[in-house]
Structure 1
Amino acid sequence: MKLTYKTIIQNYFQRFHAEVSMAAYSRTNPGRHSHLTPEFYRFWFIQEGGGRLQVGGRWLDMEPGQLLLIPPGTLQAFSAEPMMTVGLYWCHFRAAIGDIEMFDLLNLPICVIPEEREIERVVVLFRQLIEAYRSPLLTRELRIRAAMFELLACYLECVGIGESSLREAEPIEKIDRVLAYIEDHLSETIAVEELARLAFLHPNYFIGYFKNFVGYAPAQYVNFRRLERAKVLLEQKTISISEVARQVGMQNHYLSRLFRQYTGLTPSRYRQIYYQAAPGTDTGAAEERD
């Protein structure tokens, strides 16, 4: 996956928060129907039985082993097969960052089928989520988030997020152009006005738009990418630290100061530790000693 796409997704997940409002295991009665347009996501794992699910104008056959992520804002109806109950683990949650609904942008499928070896893990995670939801402990929210994030990771790994779905989203295309430009010009002065022009936005609006997607203001992100590039260059012995600074568009002293703030090490110490580090070797990595 392209670095620009990977950056968008990883930064979104870094800031992602799922607010779980209910979690349980239920068995439905045969022929039972429900019609509603919820304002929250519904996350289901079908454990037993069968039925049909309507989401908008689409009907899906439900079978054991399916993991379903049902989006909000659409008419939904459910019915169990005659003479059959449906047993399912489920939770309701809300998830959004600013104006972004990444699940919508990625055009994620409603239903995935985990591999056989993953099904037991999904069941264990739903049980942990339900137990955490019912817990009176102060750590309840941490345990809810841990189980919820693991479940979402299982779902997304089943989906297999690809570049094709990202390219179809216009907002991501805009940010992609901007991030690609930044990667190609890290050794140069990068003006916010130029980045805004690439996104066809006014500079004042662009700053908030960019931060909403990437998690950083444009200037912060540029420095972040410069420091990450500096780390890669420092891992090559043949490149001097002065040349590293030049290739990331910084003066030596400024690179040293920002790099130390970012990693806790000076550039020279980072290089030394990188090449000395090995199992059983005491490099003093936990503390800067320059």
Structure 2
Amino acid sequence: MPIEQEQRHAYFDRDLRIEAYNLSGIVQKFPNHFHEFYVIGFVEGGKRHLWCKGKEYDLGAGDLILFSPRDNHFCAPLGGEVLDYRALNIQPEVMRAAAQEITGTAFTPVFTRNVVFQSELAQSVGEVYGAILSQAPRLQKEEAFYFLLEQVLRDYAAPLDESATPGPDQTVQALCAYMEQHFSENVTLDELLSMTSFGKSYLIRTFTRQVGVSPYRYLQTVRLERAKRFLEQGVAPIDAASMAGFSDQSHFTNFFKEFIGLTPKQYQRIFTDAPPGADGQAPQQSTRRARGGLCRGKKLMKKDWSQK
């Protein structure tokens, strides 16, 4: 069997203000990390072992993946199989606005499940991705996007204040806030210790248990998110690396690709290049569908959101 060529694609849709993301032929491991945005994705091919918030899952084609902001997770290939994955990355402000449009209530959603096996919604994610890639009319994109979100919010989301997952205590929150404010500086463990009555080992263990990642990984993830914002604004990668607190561009590039799956330049192009198909030619698009009997017909289902 021929080896599938690795491909990494990402597009930013200016109408929906979301990222459409595709990795195919990937064997890369992704280490423990989190995002500041929501992720709605699905496995289109291959198998993965996923760790998320202390739980483990074996994923295959047709499985839906849901991450709220700050849901720590990491994954690795199963049986050496390559990954084919599609996702929508949605910033919190976009999600909140859409949730209010759909429910009539202003609230911040939190996903109550991270994995839905063999979900019919996997095809709906693929349809939003395909509409973005083909530069479909705005109405078509919005219809596909809101149809998907209505079902996800109805079945797999709750308001933040109703979430059963406790957040970090005040001390750990203060440590997080300090690193978010001083991300570009050489933050040391002694600085963090000065804000607590902990010993070094206890601080690291407590922080990791409550946040899901270690203090150093938290700081690096914050730096990565800041670097992404700089890249989106057109800042050169070498300058974005320095501004975000990375020691050198090589370290920054390796870290960026390890966690995001793209190089800084590849990521920046989705905001600075012409959108797919802008040259008058239809962009190349995979015709593969997630296996597992995905439903092709769908009915818009309503919910009485006043009971939410």
Which has the greater radius of gyration? 1
TM-score for the superposition, normalised by structure 1: 0.41
More helix as a share of residues: 1
